[in-house]
């Protein structure tokens, strides 16, 4: 196969193994499922698309803004193997305001030193007039239906000075393979450069930890702009000569049983899920039509959010009659900054659990330990991968002992060099002695890592530590609330000189209860679960909560939106 591997330094056996790995990209709509293909065939198709678009190999950073499709997968792989640097942007949901989305996108993309954007033809026409780099439109029969929302006349932003385009002074390293975006819940997306060496280190260690082989099959609904979807679900099976089966996140949300159907059909053995998905699937079982054999699954891995024992237990209880066991349900701690996994629980047995009373606090929580975790336990995220080190530090930078909670700092052979942008690499996220400051709060016990929540999001109510993830976990289970679309954050209480809790929850369209009744139930559940009642509770319609450019809920911007509306109401009063 005539491919130029200018970045991937593959041996002949590695090249053959990767080329023979298998992809099944399941697309919804009138065109049905895509035909299965090997990675070698996907590379050929991607190269053909690039030739048709007239894209030359000297172009380095190429942005991909495409929906879940064969074209997206093939273009990402082809660009990476050609020595170019693809970066996958989140595709918007069908519920967005198309004009507002495009205006925001223009502001965001002009801040990236890109060489080109590949998107749908209508978007290419709309965006190309305002960006400082070429925009190409890729056509495909299965892509046409995604263009309808962008067909209206688009005038673009009115406040866009010519000088806003990024100054391209930040040169990508020669060994760069692709970019990931790390867009947590608290701020703008950040670019993470993944090199061939970092990717190889991560995949080799993850393969060893999971004992992953060419006989395994990953089934996924996770989007490729998320590190779970891109690394664990696409690159790991390709690297190991295995099989990957992919459906769109929107299709899974509408019909979650489709995941189980594909697991049975393709003899799935691995599936990565955020914690909320375990509860969501358990809640939706009653409405599922059919039953599936899930007994061949080696691991359902909870990742991306703090692991909740209750969510895992609900999942096992709900689907035990379909073959799900405690030993299948696993946990992991991962992030784009280390390419993917930092730790992984041992397969074959349930993750370790520790009671919260046995954990001490450091920093702001010292002397008044009051973790807010619903229930009475923390779930282990497993042991560290090889060539990975973690230390826990308090607010002064002093290293904590075992069982003492503080900020998680780490080193890894797959750790990035800093966030990259127009001005090169930004390294403020590292300590003076080279440890990466994750911003996550957790502890180590008996060699295993436990993640409690985001340190910077911590809410302190009258001396009690409340992690917003814990509040969100409780509210997600309230009938009428859309699971996964809940945000909790701190509000300053000037009267009492402390903080209070605010909760925003999007409601299901078919919710039978009023907003007032739902808010009352949320207050009661939170008070019962953590012993602190939220001061502000707001039940909102679909799409109210703000998402970051990486497709994640933005706690910061949602809070700003809430505060703005609250001040407006006070002004009218």
The CA-CA-CA angle for residues 484, 99, 122, to 5°, reads 105
The pLDDT value recorded for residue 5 is 44
pLDDT, tens digit (0-9, with 9 covering 90-100), for 201-219: 999 999 999 999 999 999 9
- pLDDT confidence band for 512 (50 / 70 / 90): low
Quick one: 464 and 451 in the same domain? no
pLDDT, tens digit (0-9, with 9 covering 90-100), for 336-365: 999 999 999 999 999 999 987 788 776 554
Is 152's pLDDT higher than 50?
yes
CB 380 within 8 A of CB 353: yes
For the segment 514-530, the average pLDDT, to the nearest whole number, is 89
Quick one: 380 and 397 in the same domain? yes
Q: Which contacts of 95-100 are long-range, i.e. CB under 8 A and separated by 24 or more positions?
A: 95/542, 95/543, 96/149, 96/543, 98/149, 98/150, 98/152, 99/152, 99/154
> Which structural domain, as residue segments, surrounds residue 104?
12-168
363 occurs within a structural domain = yes
Q: Could you give the number of structural domains in the chain?
A: 3
Quick one: 440 and 463 in the same domain? no
From 412, 428, 455, the end of a domain falls on 455
Helix (H) or strand (E) holding 12, with range, is: helix 12-20
Is 382's pLDDT higher than 50?
yes
From 421, 455, 489, the end of a domain falls on 455
How would DSSP label each residue in 298-338?
-EEEE-SS---HHHHHHHHHHHGGGT--GGGEEEEEE-GGG
From 152, 168, 184, the end of a domain falls on 168
Reported residue count of the chain is 573
Tokens representing residue 226 in the block: 């998320």
pLDDT higher at 295 or 394 = 295
Question: Using CA atoms, how far apart are residues 525 and 527, in angstroms rounded to an integer?
Answer: 6
327 occurs within a structural domain = yes
Quick one: 16 and 113 in the same domain? yes
Give the mean pLDDT of the chain.
86
38 occurs within a structural domain = yes
Quick one: 296 and 396 in the same domain? yes
Question: Using CA atoms, how far apart are residues 201 and 224, in angstroms rounded to an integer?
Answer: 20
The pLDDT value recorded for residue 219 is 98
225 occurs within a structural domain = no
349 occurs within a structural domain = yes
77 occurs within a structural domain = yes
- pLDDT confidence band for 391 (50 / 70 / 90): very high
């Amino acid at each position: 196969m005539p491919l130029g591997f200018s970045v991937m330094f593959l041996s002949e056996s590695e090249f053959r193994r990767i080329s023979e790995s298998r992809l099944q990209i399941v697309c919804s709509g009138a065109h049905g499922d895509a035909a299965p293909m090997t990675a070698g065939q996907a590379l050929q198709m991607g190269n053909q698309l690039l030739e048709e678009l007239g894209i030359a190999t000297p172009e380095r950073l190429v942005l991909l803004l495409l929906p879940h499709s064969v074209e997206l997968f093939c273009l990402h792989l082809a660009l990476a193997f050609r020595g170019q640097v693809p970066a996958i942007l989140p595709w918007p949901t069908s519920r967005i305001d198309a004009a507002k989305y495009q205006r925001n996108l223009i502001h965001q993309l002009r801040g990236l030193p890109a060489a080109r954007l590949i998107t749908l033809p209508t978007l290419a026409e709309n965006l190309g007039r305002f960006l400082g780099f070429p925009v190409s439109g890729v056509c495909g029969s299965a892509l046409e239906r995604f263009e309808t929302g962008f067909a209206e006349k688009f005038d673009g932003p009115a406040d866009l000075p010519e000088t806003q385009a990024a100054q391209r002074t930040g040169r990508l390293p020669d060994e760069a393979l692709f970019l990931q975006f790390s867009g947590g819940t608290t701020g703008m997306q950040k670019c993470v450069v993944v090199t061939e060496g970092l990717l190889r280190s991560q995949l080799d260690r993850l393969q060893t930890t999971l004992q992953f082989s060419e006989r395994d099959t990953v089934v996924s609904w996770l989007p490729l702009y998320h590190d779970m979807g891109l690394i664990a679900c696409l690159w790991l099976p390709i690297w190991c000569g295995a099989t990957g089966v992919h459906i769109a996140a929107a299709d899974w949300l509408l019909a979650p049983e489709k995941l189980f159907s594909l697991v049975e059909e393709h003899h799935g053995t691995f599936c990565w899920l955020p914690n909320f998905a375990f509860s969501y699937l358990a809640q939706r079982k009653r409405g599922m039509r059919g039953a599936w054999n899930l007994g061949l699954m080696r691991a359902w891995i909870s990742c991306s959010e703090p692991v909740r024992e209750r969510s895992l237990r609900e999942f096992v209880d709900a689907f035990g009659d379909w073959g799900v066991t405690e030993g299948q349900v696993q946990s992991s701690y991962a992030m784009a900054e280390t390419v993917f996994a930092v730790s992984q629980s041992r397969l074959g047995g349930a993750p370790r659990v520790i009671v919260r009373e046995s954990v001490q606090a450091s920093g702001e929580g010292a002397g008044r330990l009051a973790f807010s975790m619903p229930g009475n336990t923390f779930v282990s995220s497993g042991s560290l991968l090889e060539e990975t080190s973690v230390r826990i530090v308090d607010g002064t930078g002093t290293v904590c002992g075992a069982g003492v909670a503080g900020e998680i700092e780490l080193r890894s052979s797959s750790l990035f060099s800093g966030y990259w942008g127009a001005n090169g690499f930004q390294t403020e996220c590292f300590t003076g002695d080279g440890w990466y400051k994750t911003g996550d709060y957790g502890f180590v016990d008996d060699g295993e890592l436990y993640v409690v929540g985001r340190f910077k999001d911590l809410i302190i109510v009258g001396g009690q530590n409340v992690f917003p993830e814990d509040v969100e976990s409780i509210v997600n289970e309230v009938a009428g609330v859309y699971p996964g679309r809940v945000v909790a954050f701190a509000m300053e209480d000037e009267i009492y000189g402390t903080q209070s809790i605010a909760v925003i929850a999007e409601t299901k369209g078919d919710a039978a209860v009023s907003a007032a009744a739902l808010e009352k139930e949320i207050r009661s559940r939170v008070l019962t679960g953590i012993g602190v009642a939220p001061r502000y509770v707001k039940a909102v319609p679909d799409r109210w909560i703000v998402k970051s450019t990486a497709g994640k809920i933005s706690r910061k911007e949602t809070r700003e939106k809430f505060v703005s509306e609250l001040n407006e109401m006070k002004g009218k009063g």
